[in-house]
Homo-oligomer: A and B are copies of this chain.
Amino acid sequence: MATIPREVVDEALAAGKARREEILDVAYLRFRDDWHHIPRGTVIVEGRIVWGYPRIGRILRLETGLAEQFGGPFQAEEKIDGYNVRIVHAAGRALAFTRGGFLCPFTTDRLSDLMDTSFLEAEPERVVCAEVAGPENPYLVGHPPFIAEDVRLFVFDLMPLDRPGFEPPDRRAALVEAARLPAAPVLGRYTPADLEALRALLRRLDAEGREGVVLKALAPPWRRAKYVTAASAVADVRVSVSALRQLPPEYFTNRILRLVLFLDEEGMAADPELERRLGAAFIEGLREAIAQFRAQRHVTHRFRCRFRRRAHAEALLALQQRLAGHGQVRLLRLEREGEWEVLEFEKVDPEMTGLLGHVLRGGVVYD
Instruction: Given A244-B253, A284-B270, verify A61-B279 contact (CB < 8 Å).
Output: no
By size class, the interface of chain A is: 35 or more
Q: In A30-74, which residues have CB < 8 Å from any B CB?
A: 55, 57-61, 63-69
- Are B57 and A260 in contact, CB atoms less than 8 angstroms apart? no
Partner of A359, one of B59, B241, B280: B59
Question: Nearest residue in B to A363 (C-beta to C-beta)?
Answer: B68
Q: Does A225 contact B (CB under 8 A)?
A: yes
Q: B residues within 8 A CB of A277?
A: 275, 279
- Are A283 and B290 in contact, CB atoms less than 8 angstroms apart? no
Interchain CA distance A252-B68 in the complex, whole Å = 32
Q: B residues within 8 A CB of A279?
A: 274-280
Interface mask (A348-365 → B, CB under 8 Å = 1, otherwise 0): 000000010001111111
A356 to chain B, nearest CB (A): 9
Copies of the polypeptide in the assembly: 2
Q: Does A322 contact B (CB under 8 A)?
A: no
Q: B residues within 8 A CB of A364?
A: 57-59, 65, 69, 225
Partner of A365, one of B57, B248, B362: B57
- Are A60 and B359 in contact, CB atoms less than 8 angstroms apart? yes
Interchain CA distance A321-B225 in the complex, whole Å = 39
- Binding site secondary structure of chain A: helix
Instruction: Given A58-B366, A60-B365, verify A283-B263 contact (CB < 8 Å).
Output: yes
Q: In A217-274, which residues have CB < 8 Å from any B CB?
A: 225, 241, 244, 248-250, 252-254, 256-257, 259-261, 263-264, 270, 272, 274
Q: Does A286 contact B (CB under 8 A)?
A: yes
- Are A263 and B287 in contact, CB atoms less than 8 angstroms apart? yes
- Are A253 and B264 in contact, CB atoms less than 8 angstroms apart? no
Q: B residues within 8 A CB of A275?
A: 275-277, 279-280, 283
Q: Does A119 contact B (CB under 8 A)?
A: no
Partner of A260, one of B67, B254, B278, B286: B286
A241 to chain B, nearest CB (A): 7
Question: Nearest residue in B to A65 (C-beta to C-beta)?
Answer: B362
Question: Nearest residue in B to A226 (C-beta to C-beta)?
Answer: B364
A99 to chain B, nearest CB (A): 14
A198 to chain B, nearest CB (A): 13
- Are A361 and B68 in contact, CB atoms less than 8 angstroms apart? yes
The 9 closest A-B pairs by CB, nearest first: A249-B249, A57-B364, A68-B362, A64-B362, A278-B279, A275-B279, A65-B362, A279-B279, A60-B359
